[in-house]
Amino acid sequence: MTHRIVVLGAGYAGLGAAKRAAGTAGRDARVTLVNASDRFVERVRLHQVATGQATADLPLAGLLDGTGVELVRARATGIDADARTVRLDGAADLGYDTLVYALGSTADLDAVPGAREHALAIAREADAALLRDRLPGLESVAVVGGGLTGIETAAELAEARPGLRVELVTAGPLGEGLGSRARRHVHRTFARMGVTVHENERVANVAADGLLLESGRDLPADAFVWAAGFRVPSLAADAGLDVDGRGRVRVDGTLRARSHPEVIAVGDVAVLPVRGRAARMSCQIGLPMGLHGGAAAGALARGREPRPVKLRYVSQCVSLGRRDGVVQFTRADDTPIEPAVLTGRAAARVKEAIVRGTVFAMRRPNVAAAF
């Protein structure tokens, strides 16, 4: 009997998973990939999209050519875990024997009052396009979030629009996960670019014309970009899968959902400890998770036990516009190796090479899985 593998989401995790599943599952399996759009979105370049830079057009049909994966363009609206069916808006419901859940994440716009009404986001292509379209009319932008996405967004905006007043507000220190040398470089670069940083300031409220900070200060700006955290879709939680407090699926060492072993969760929607710490939502972890998850689905289709996944961090790569950046080398658990930092143009080149490498991995996942 045909083993039906359904993959939800064609981002770094889901696309890699679908292609690996098709390459490993054998002839008696059918792999169907469901995605809201018919193009692959390079999410790690969305700050470039927001500043009007052209990025590659990557139709999923081309990336799937010759793999045997069937692409269904539709929005997944629900999972019936008992009936093993996914509900789709835009296509007929699909039954599965193995489900790979890879729907990624969106901006957490419900984090504080007013954010949903007044803040822009950078998490999805449509968010970035909205920011791009509004940018020409703006004199000031406040970016909320001092993590890697907030840093990259503020730098890209400042570089692309030199006259724009760019401010960054962060609840903790800027670039908290980086080592001190790397953080100093980000501060120096922001000073050069004219980005004003407000550290240890938590946003309480977003209004049409300004941010209200918990310290009582007001920070007026024409627009706000919410880069202070991502949230995952609720489909898994709604279907009764075992999830953490943020709705991410708890998986075992083979990436199978702890509560539903016929479901494999990969990428931002999965919570997996990497060397003792919950994995950071990142392409760096999501992409290899997807490759492994696809092979795990392939193993299940052949009636085999999936192998445990071994993941580790190598570095945190941050672009600071197109000509500067920081590469912070890390231990396997993501903690920074203090003096091991690359900065400036060399770091920008390394980051660009890595981003191109992710597209190579989407084209040739079997090669990528060998690393």
Q: Which residues bind ligand FAD (CB under 6 A)?
A: 9-14, 34-37, 41, 43-44, 46-47, 75-76, 102-105, 122-123, 149, 152, 233, 267-268, 281-284, 286, 317
- For residue 297, the minimal CB distance to ligand FAD (Å) is 15
Q: Which is nearer to ligand FAD, 30 or 47 (CB)?
A: 47
CB atoms within 10 A of CB 232: 26
Q: Which is nearer to ligand FAD, 156 or 167 (CB)?
A: 156
- For residue 164, the minimal CB distance to ligand FAD (Å) is 18
Q: How many helices, marked H, and strands, marked E, lie in the chain?
A: 11, 25
- For residue 26, the minimal CB distance to ligand FAD (Å) is 25
- For residue 176, the minimal CB distance to ligand FAD (Å) is 16
Q: Which is nearer to ligand FAD, 36 or 359 (CB)?
A: 36
The residue whose two tokens read 């359904």 is 6
Sheet strand arrangement including 336-343 = 315-319, 325-330, 336-343
Q: Which is nearer to ligand FAD, 161 or 205 (CB)?
A: 161
End-to-end CA distance of the chain: 33
Single-letter residue type at 212: L
- For residue 216, the minimal CB distance to ligand FAD (Å) is 30
Q: Which two tokens stand for residue 55?
A: 């990025």
Angle at 18 between CA 2 and CA 45, to 5 degrees: 165
3-class secondary structure, 132: helix
Contact between 211 and 203 (Cβ < 8 Å): yes
Q: Which is nearer to ligand FAD, 49 or 301 (CB)?
A: 49
Residue nearest to ligand FAD (CB): 11
